[in-house]
């Protein structure tokens, strides 16, 4: 117990050292440790130096959803929010908070993080808002875990080259594929691969309508 208290005292002294380089070394040493002291990690996450707080916020497994949401709610530097949305496996609660309060750029960074676990409810809300945010279109169309229903919504208003990207998606449910073909036909892009813009390097199996793709897969 005495050794534990001594260790904590030393870590607290290092975490509050006036020399930023000392705090940076501590942050980088603890950023990936699952059993690092929670009090120390939250202290480092609230540091004003990007080189100290950034690595901890982006990587520390000790910080939970409540810690990250508290950081988002603080009137703090935007680089901290950027570090949060870059985390591997951002959780649904944090993603929902970013969607509710984040800037267009911050939400775009969240969508670009393919490991972020965005709930269908949050993604549906963002898809409904997407017509007013063209900067999100390319990111959402190319997002790996994008649900078929959301892709159908996007297909109704994204630019024709992005519509072609949607039509080249594989692994969608049949209902979504049929809905996409209907939208493509209405927009004059669904009769076949000759009428839909081709992307450089698109493989043969990814071209054509949903029906053609399904027939090839069978």
Mean pLDDT of 178-198: 68
The residue among 94, 93, 37 whose CA lies nearest residue 60 is: 37
Task: Identify the band that residue 193 occupies on the pLDDT scale cut at 50, 70 and 90.
Answer: very low
pTM: 0.78
Nearest 5°: the CA angle 61, 74, 72 is 45
- Return d(Cα 48, Cα 52) in angstroms, integer: 8
pLDDT, greater one: 94 or 188? 94
DSSP secondary structure letters along 144-170: TT--HHHHHHHHTTS-HHHHHHHHT--
pLDDT at 12 over 60: yes
State the average pLDDT for the chain.
Answer: 87
Cα 174 to Cα 204, 205, 214, distances in angstroms: 20, 17, 9
Span 107-160, pLDDT tens digits? 999 999 999 999 999 999 999 999 999 999 999 999 998 999 999 999 999 999
Span 84-109, pLDDT tens digits? 999 999 999 999 999 999 999 999 99
Q: What is the four-CA torsion angle of 46, 108, 205, 183, rounded to 10 degrees?
A: 150
- The predicted pLDDT at position 191 comes to 39
Are 157 and 124 spatial neighbours (Cβ–Cβ below 8 Å)? no
Between the two ends of the chain, the Cα-to-Cα distance in Å is 66
Span 32-82, pLDDT tens digits? 999 999 999 999 999 999 999 999 999 999 999 999 999 999 866 899 999
Task: Identify the band that residue 170 occupies on the pLDDT scale cut at 50, 70 and 90.
Answer: confident
In terms of C-beta distances under 8 Å and separation of at least 24 residues, what long-range contacts does 131-136 make, across chains too? Answer: 131/157, 133/104, 133/107, 133/108, 135/104, 135/105, 135/108, 136/104, 136/107, 136/108, 136/111
pLDDT, greater one: 133 or 194? 133
């Amino acid at each position: 117990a005495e050794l534990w208290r001594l260790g904590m005292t030393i870590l607290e002294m290092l975490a509050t050292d006036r020399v930023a380089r000392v705090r940076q070394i501590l942050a980088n040493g603890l950023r990936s440790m699952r059993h690092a002291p929670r009090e120390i990690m939250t202290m480092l996450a609230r540091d004003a130096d990007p080189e100290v707080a950034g690595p901890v916020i982006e990587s520390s497994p000790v910080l939970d959803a409540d810690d990250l949401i508290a950081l988002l709610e603080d009137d703090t530097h935007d680089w901290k929010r950027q570090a949060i949305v870059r985390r591997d496996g951002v959780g649904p609660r944090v993603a929902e908070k970013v969607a509710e309060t984040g800037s267009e750029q911050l939400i775009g960074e969240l969508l670009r993080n393919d490991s972020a676990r965005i709930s269908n409810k949050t993604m549906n809300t963002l898809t409904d808002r997407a017509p007013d945010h063209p900067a999100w279109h390319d990111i959402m169309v190319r997002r790996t875990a994008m649900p078929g229903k959301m892709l159908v919504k996007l297909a109704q208003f994204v630019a024709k080259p992005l519509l072609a990207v949607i039509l080249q998606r594989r692994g969608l449910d049949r209902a979504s594929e049929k809905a996409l073909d209907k939208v493509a036909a209405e927009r004059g892009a669904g009769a076949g691969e000759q009428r839909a813009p081709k992307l450089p390097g698109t493989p043969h199996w990814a071209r054509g309508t949903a029906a053609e793709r399904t027939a090839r897969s069978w």
